[in-house]
């Protein structure tokens, strides 16, 4: 117990919440916060900030969830939509590596959800290379890779390992004062998931209603993602990301939403759950505008 407390003391406040967010319920996170208070690590303001960050984090869906929605909608797997593997060697700056770590991670989730095992291994190698270049090899060590390769035929186990690995990555970055890099990974992963969903939906004459509703609901997630980026933009390293999200928000402005007792949480596998009822209304024109803007941003990230 003493070891855990000393470890918590070293982490930024947000990292305390996010490090333990792989637990199956919000109550476990609350227990971490409560134990930290008892140990004298957090004051009242810090508790409120931690809870706010927790709410934001829970409300941003993972790329894995969007891939799952795509499969449930009956969409076919389309590898041509993914970031090309050959591009990985061209990312030489920290920002381009962070952005594409998020993008390749989303592509890895997409391939895994659709049981494309060989592609999943290929995209795993891309994420590992970028993680190595960013100096976060700890999150993608040899044992993790071996576990993924050993479970490549077991989708549920593989997805759990992927989720676990990205939580470790996020925690490691925050522990080392690189919160902005973590925010880039999260934002780019969200953009990639939205890119896949909108591209597939806009190409369909009669897109699946569930997929359309999930795309429309990203208007709520976007608000929280913008808050997350703002919270981690202490040195203005995320100004460009913030501007990109503003463009996406402008495209979402015409999406009509009516929330009725909406709640947000996480399942044990890391997927976001939005409870209650949220009625959405998104025209074909609005979908095409969102698709266009997201495609432009994503194209710049992968170039």
Walking along the chain (303 residues) 10 residues at a time, the average pLDDT comes out as: 32 28 35 41 46 52 76 90 96 95 91 87 88 79 74 72 70 73 89 94 91 90 88 90 97 85 64 66 94 98 96
Domain of 49 in residue numbering reads as 2-57
**Are 106 and 227 found together in one domain?**
yes
The pLDDT, as a whole number, for residue 258 is 76
Angle at 282 between CA 211 and CA 265, to 5 degrees: 50
Which candidate, 7, 3, 18, 301, places its Cα nearest to that of 166?
Answer: 18
Q: Which residues contact 45 (CB under 8 A, 6 or more apart)?
A: none
User: Number of structural domains, the chain?
Assistant: 2
| Terminal Cα-to-Cα distance of the chain (whole angstroms) | 47
Last residue of some domain: 36, 57, 78? 57
* pTM of the entire predicted model: 0.74
- If asked whether residues 178 and 254 sit together in one domain, one would say yes
Helix ranges (DSSP H) in 151-259? 155-175, 179-202, 209-216, 218-231, 239-252
Q: Rounded to whole angstroms, what are the CA distances from 229 to 38, 188, 222, 247, 293?
A: 30, 11, 10, 14, 19
Across the strands, what pairs with 275?
263
- Same structural domain, 153 and 78: yes
Q: Quick one: pLDDT at residue 19?
A: 29
Predicted pLDDT of residue 301 = 98
CB of 222 within 8 A of CB of 198?
no
Query: How many angstroms separate the CA atoms of 162 and 62, rounded?
Result: 11
pLDDT at residue 191 in the model = 95
- Give the per-residue pLDDT at 153: 72
One domain, residues 136 and 8: no
The pair of three-digit structure tokens given for residue 48, joined into one six-digit string: 């409120």
Looking at residue 253, its pLDDT comes to 94
pLDDT of residue 235: 85
How far is the C-alpha of 146 from the C-alpha of 149, rounded, in Å? 5
Q: 141 and 181: one domain?
A: yes
């Amino acid at each position: 117990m003493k070891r855990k407390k000393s470890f918590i003391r070293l982490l930024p406040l947000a990292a305390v919440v996010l490090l333990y967010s792989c637990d199956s319920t919000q109550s476990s996170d609350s227990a971490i916060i409560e134990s930290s208070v008892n140990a004298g690590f957090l004051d009242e303001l810090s508790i409120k900030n931690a809870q706010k960050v927790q709410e934001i984090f829970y409300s941003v869906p993972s790329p894995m969830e969007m891939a799952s929605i795509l499969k449930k909608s009956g969409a076919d797997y389309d590898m041509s939509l993914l970031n090309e593997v050959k591009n990985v060697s061209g990312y030489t700056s920290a920002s381009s590596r962070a952005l594409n770590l998020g993008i390749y991670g989303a592509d890895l989730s997409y391939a895994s959800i659709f049981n494309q095992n060989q592609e999943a291994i290929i995209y795993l190698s891309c994420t590992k290379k970028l993680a190595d270049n960013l100096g976060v090899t700890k999150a993608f060590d040899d044992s993790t890779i071996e576990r993924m390769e050993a479970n490549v035929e077991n989708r549920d186990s593989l997805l759990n390992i992927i989720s676990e690995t990205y939580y470790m990555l996020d925690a490691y970055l925050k522990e080392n004062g690189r919160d902005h890099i973590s925010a880039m990974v999260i934002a780019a992963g969200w953009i990639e998931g939205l890119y896949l969903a909108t591209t597939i939906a806009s190409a369909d004459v009669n897109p699946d209603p569930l997929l359309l509703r999930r795309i429309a609901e990203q208007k709520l997630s976007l608000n929280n993602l913008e808050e997350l980026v703002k919270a981690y933009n202490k040195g203005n390293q995320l100004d460009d990301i913030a501007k990109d999200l503003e463009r996406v928000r402008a495209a979402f402005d015409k999406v009509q939403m009516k929330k009725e007792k909406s709640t947000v949480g996480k399942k044990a596998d890391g997927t976001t759950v939005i409870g209650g009822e949220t009625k959405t209304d998104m025209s074909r024109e609005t979908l095409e505008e969102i698709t266009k803007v997201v495609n432009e941003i994503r194209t710049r990230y992968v170039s």
